[in-house]
Amino acid sequence: MISARGARRWALGHPWVFRSDVVVPAPIDAGAVDVVDQRERPLGTALWSAASEISVRFVSRDPGLVLDRAWWEARLRSAVDRRSPILDAANHGKPDSNTNSDTNACRLVHGEGDGLPSLVVDRFDRWLVVQLLSAGLEAHRAVILEALQAVVPTDGILARNDASVRAREGLPRVIEPLVGTVPEGIEVREHGVRYLAAPHGGQKTGAFLDQREARVLVGTLARGRALDVFSYHGSFALHLARRAESVTAVDVSAAAIARAAENAALNGLTNIRGVEADAFEFLRAEEAAGARYDTIVLDPPAFAKNRGAIAGALRGYKEINLRAMRLLAPGGMLYTASCSYHVRKPEFLAMLEEAAADSGRRVILRGITGQPLDHPEVLTVPETGYLKGAVLEIQD
Ligand code: SAH
């Protein structure tokens, strides 16, 4: 049973109910429950996590649902169908490295964005990487895996259940094979470039799939001397290098830069130079040296991990963007992104306006980007949206 406030939140389209809005807890630790309001009116079926601050995650307005294999299959199938523009609709998302689609990797399930709260499924070629991020979901693990294999035939499934939110659900943080074996490196095809995803030890589930569309866009705009800052394993750099004369890929992680070099070799690209450096120091030094670039990408990690960090994060974002604007030659292009959920799109754009004002340059907003098709953002569930970006042109 939940409070009027909790019920209202759900009526407005948000599936989460916090512990403070639970009036009578469910008699189980975790699993599917029927939720009612204080007048015993049915509100729907939800996943229950007794240990979590987010106690209830609604999955349907229908009460009394049995979350059996058929139910999970139907939800998973509609999530996979939503990706049909990316993964050849004809093969229904079936892992098959011989299709003609532009890529063999994408997110198949984006949690609440697909009506499957706290479930993430990423496909890398013939393998899947999953994250079960709540106790209520974890309770259905076996049936979810059965349903998933029925919807997406696969050679192996790996659980990247090492995310810190698992601890808040009272769940262990582990990386473990669930079905078959998943290779250490999987070759991803992405609109004409190839790179190795690292599902076991890499960041996220092995690669940053959420920037795929931005990488393709930026690849078509790149020219001259290019700079890819916060490069990770060089995935923007690879797209830039197809059109630009030279690309400098900067990351603070030596392992990331080593993998960027491997990925450049995999594509036969010889115009990418890796630099292991702190981005702030690198940009400051380049500015002091009077360096000039024609194309710059800024794809930093989330600077604001919580609300309290927003002001500091905005200062960090402004500093790197200001320096990038100053480093660009007239006519140069900057693609800049933020994946901090807590920094919303208006604050991000306001930060760019301030950086432009301070830069002394005339900066044109050529486009605003968001999440790709496989990371659906539900308008009434802000947590499903975190990534935003802008394409800027330096006029003079
Ligand atoms: N652009 C990449 C994803 C970048 S993720 C892609 O599309 O695949 C952010 C990267 O920033 C990580 O690889 C991390 O190692 C790096 N990073 C974090 N802090 C940094 C810093 N201060 N300077 C340089 N790199 C940093």
pLDDT score for 99: 58
Ligand 1, from 230, 257, 262, 284: best to mutate by most atoms within 8 Å of Cβ?
A: 230
The Å distance, Cα 161 to ligand 1 centre, comes to 22
Do 248 and 227 touch, CB atoms closer than 8 A?
yes
* Mean pLDDT, the chain, integer: 96
Nearest CA to ligand 1 atom 1: 231
pTM of the entire structure? Answer: 0.95
Q: Which CATH number describes the domain made up of 208-394?
A: 3.40.50.150
The Å distance, Cα 302 to ligand 1 centre, comes to 9
Counting from 1 in the atom list of ligand 1, the atom nearest the Cα of 228 is: 1
The Å distance, Cα 113 to ligand 1 centre, comes to 25
Question: What are the extents of the domains in the chain?
Answer: 4-60, 69-186, 208-394
Residue 94: pLDDT over 80: no
Helix (H) or strand (E) holding 375, with range, is none
E strands, the chain, are: 16-18, 30-36, 42-49, 54-60, 105-110, 119-124, 127-132, 156-161, 174-180, 186-190, 193-197, 225-229, 246-251, 272-276, 293-298, 328-338, 363-369, 388-394
Q: Which CATH number describes the domain made up of 69-186?
A: 3.30.750.80
Does any ligand 1 atom lie closer than 6 A to the CB of residue 235?
Answer: yes
pLDDT score for 87: 75
Does any ligand 1 atom lie closer than 6 A to the CB of residue 230?
Answer: yes
Does any ligand 1 atom lie closer than 6 A to the CB of residue 278?
Answer: yes
Residue 92: pLDDT over 50: no
Fold: same for 4-60 and 208-394: no
CA proximity to 138, closest of 113, 160, 93, 171: 171
Does any ligand 1 atom lie closer than 6 A to the CB of residue 335?
Answer: no
**Digit-coded pLDDT (tens) for 312-352:** 999 999 999 999 999 999 999 999 999 999 999 999 999 99
Task: Tell me if the domain spanning 4-60 has CATH number 3.50.50.60.
Answer: no
Choosing from 120, 313, 339, 390, which is the catalytic residue? 339
Does any ligand 1 atom lie closer than 6 A to the CB of residue 263?
Answer: no
Do 347 and 310 touch, CB atoms closer than 8 A?
yes
Share of the chain above pLDDT 90, in %: 95
Mean of the pLDDT values across residues 18-39? 98
Does any ligand 1 atom lie closer than 6 A to the CB of residue 84?
Answer: no
Active-site residue 106, yes or no? no
The Å distance, Cα 209 to ligand 1 centre, comes to 14
Does any ligand 1 atom lie closer than 6 A to the CB of residue 256?
Answer: yes
Q: Which amino acid is at 342?
A: H
**Digit-coded pLDDT (tens) for 190-239:** 999 999 999 999 999 999 999 999 999 999 999 999 999 999 999 999 99
